[in-house]
Amino acid sequence: TIEDTGSTYDEIARRFGEEVAQLVDGVTKLTNLELSSVENAQAENFRKLLMAMSKDLRVLLVKLADRLHNMRTIKHLAPEKQQRKARETMDIFAPLAGRMGMQWMRDELEDISFRVLNPEARKSIIRRFVMLRNESGDLIPKITEDIRQALAQARVEAQVFGREKKPYSVWRKMEEKKEGFSRLSDIYGFRILTGSVADCYTALGAVHQRWAAVPGRFKDYISQPKSNGYRSIHTTVSGRDGKRVEVQIRTSEMHAVAETGVAAHWSYKDGERFENPFAVDPFQWLRSITERFENSEDPSDFLEHVKLEMFQDQVFCFTPKGEVIKLPRGATPIDFAYAIHTRIGDSCVGAKVDGQRVPLWTKLRNGQQVTIIRAEGQRPQPSWEDMVVTGRAKAAIRRSLRGEQRATQVRLGR
């Protein structure tokens, strides 16, 4: 309203109250940031976007809703403008929605962007879906019924929903695993919503008794929630006709957080504010993202780190005292050391994983216990930068190397 009409901040405050006026003003500032966006300015804008969000996260929720509406009506824009909007959505807004735990919004943003950026790939995946359906019939109702029967036998009351994965998530899996569509296993996803946490585990037992679990495809985010509050049990089983099927099991309250993420903090039920026990405190979540990047001097560094942080799946490792450290997939002991404290990272000379000495470039896996070996006087090595994947570690290593170069140059100058 402020950017597109003659209305002013004061007028909105008078009619709708100070709180709404501040939200509108925040969104206006964000939109103005975007308009001035050129490649190098984009990183700086993104940094400002996060800073603006840290005052009130709802500004970003409104911004995401606005972007979703823009994407739904994108076909009215000129082709090159469509490309630019879709790329920006894919790079920044979709992962942000995902990072905030708003999974349905992330899926839709990615899917519309995918339709603009790579229409041929999307069409070919949809064609394969249709072929599969013609060959084996619509499997979703059949598998849903199978799961319902297994749960009824285990006396678990639950709702079961099935769906085909979105074309973009299928495409991303094919790209990651370098597999053809025919080899791709879980193009069907099923959800079991139960009444209690205990029922989640009973349901898991029922599913695993009925079908063979696929090794290495089990994740328990109920006992180890993701940082955006997401809780669910994921497992993949060989279902009907050997088709692999992904099953997610969670309670209805966890499902609310899985769908609306950080926004679940502001839930209302029948007009009453409703306290969801699993909702993450949005401000704590934001602070954890922003404080990590306040130290990075170069805005494009900052954007690179944020993209790294937002896109990656998580691995959970333990310190010798049993504390859990969450890291992105592909993280190494150096990332682990920096995740505990910069000092520990800087003085790291070696690592033990589950009691065995390992090289510093070893990729960590879920559930491993990591011990960092330190030595006073050790400094980060230039080669470390290629070994680490977290923004925090990269920034700390660069900072330390720059400090050393500076000291050398000062000596040379003298």
Q: Which residues are paired to 272 by β-bridges?
A: 269
Rounded Cα–Cα distance for residues 126 and 50 (Å)? 36
Listed in sequence order, the residues at least 6 apart from 323 whose beta carbon sits closer than 8 Å to its beta carbon are none
Rounded Cα–Cα distance for residues 394 and 382 (Å)? 11
Widest pairwise Cα distance in the chain: 82
Catalytic entry in 4, 135, 272, 313: 4
- 110 part of the active site: no
Give the tokens for residue 126: 């949809």
- What are the φ and ψ backbone dihedral angles of 365, each rounded to 5 degrees? -120, 165
Catalytic entry in 3, 18, 175, 297: 3
- 335 part of the active site: no
What are the angstrom distances between the C-alpha of 201 and each of 6, 207, 253, 277? 57, 10, 16, 19
Amino acid identity for residue 367 in this structure: G
Rounded Cα–Cα distance for residues 163 and 104 (Å)? 13
Q: What dihedral angle (degrees, nearest 10) is formed by the CA atoms of 94, 76, 118, 128?
A: 100
Using DSSP's 3-state secondary structure scheme, residue 225 falls into coil
Residue positions annotated with a catalytic role: 3-4
